[in-house]
Amino acid sequence: MILVIFDVDGTLVYSEKKDSRSFADTYQAVYGLPFPTIDWKKYPHVSDTTIFKTVIQEHFNRIASEEEEESFRQKFVERITQNRVQTPEVFHIVPYAKQAIEKLLADDRFVVGVATGGWKAPAIVKMNFVDIPSEKLIITGADGHETRADITNETINKATAIHGKFDRIVYVGDAIWDVTTTKEMNLPLIGIRRKGDLDFLYEKGTELVFADYKDYDAFVEGILTVGVPS
């Protein structure tokens, strides 16, 4: 049995940075201060928890409490939900992602998980909006986790508790931090680059990169054979 773990933003859904800007707008609305940057590479780890805590530390020289983080998370969810009502045309699914996940779920060889650097509740909003069946997936977000390796390990632990030990675990992601995390964890990686700039991940050592999930047979072959980024 094989566990296939997906990232969310850029891998299953995309918003042309609308959701990232919503994170910054929510912060400014709550704290009255401009958000430093939505270039996530500027932060110690690319997770909502780390990003939020880092900015709070920089602005107020203190540690954000769990209650404060939860309150912010709820406001962020409200904002991205409202955005989807007001401008639904901005929010998209990576082509054929829903069909690929549904086929994997129907195949006894595979278990499907999600490990996202975002918090879980916003990730579910994003997936549900494009009809990805989130209720059937084993999902971990940044809630209580600062690193992407911690998030991915939690998904693996949840899936293992349900299904037992896996013969193989493969991650599917779109960004440089997916490459570095899978190298750190010694996990095979399939890259997704919806804009077609496949060379970006190939140059980082990823063995196999797709623009979308249209060629499902090739995608499954990749799940069975792809290696850890070099």
Map out the domains of the chain as residue ranges: 2-15+91-225, 18-88
Q: What is the pLDDT of residue 191?
A: 98
The yes or no reply on domain 2-15+91-225 and CATH 1.10.10.60 is no
Taking the CA atoms of 58, 64, 70 and 71 in sequence, report the sign of the dihedral they define.
Answer: negative
- For residues 120 and 127, the answer to whether their CB atoms sit within 8 Å is no
Phi, psi of 215 (to 5 degrees): -90, 80
Find all residues with CB under 8 Å of 201, minimum gap 6, and list them: 174, 176, 179, 191, 193, 209
DSSP 13: E
Question: What pLDDT sits at residue 141?
Answer: 98
Joined together, the tokens standing for residue 68 give: 């404060």
Judge whether 2-15+91-225 and 18-88 match in fold: no
Question: Which residues have C-beta within 8 Å of that of residue 106, sequence separation ≥ 6?
Answer: none
Third-level CATH fold of 18-88:
DNA polymerase; domain 1 (1.10.150)
Q: Sign (positive/negative) of CA torsion 196, 229, 214, 6?
A: negative
Q: Report the SS3 class of residue 80.
A: helix
CA distance 36 to 157: 34
Pairing of β 13-14 and β 92-93: antiparallel
What pTM was computed for the model? 0.97
The per-residue pLDDT for 145 is 96
The residue among 74, 194, 210 whose CA lies nearest residue 202 is 210
The pLDDT value given to residue 108 = 97
pLDDT < 70 stretches in the chain: none
pLDDT attached to residue 19: 97
d(CA 206, CA 227): 8
Q: What is the DSSP string of 151-219?
A: HHHHHHHHHHHHH---SEEEEEE-SHHHHHHHHHHT--EEEE-TTS-THHHHTTT-SEEESSSS-HHHH
User: Strand pairing partners for 92?
Assistant: 14
112 with 12: CB under 8 angstroms?
no
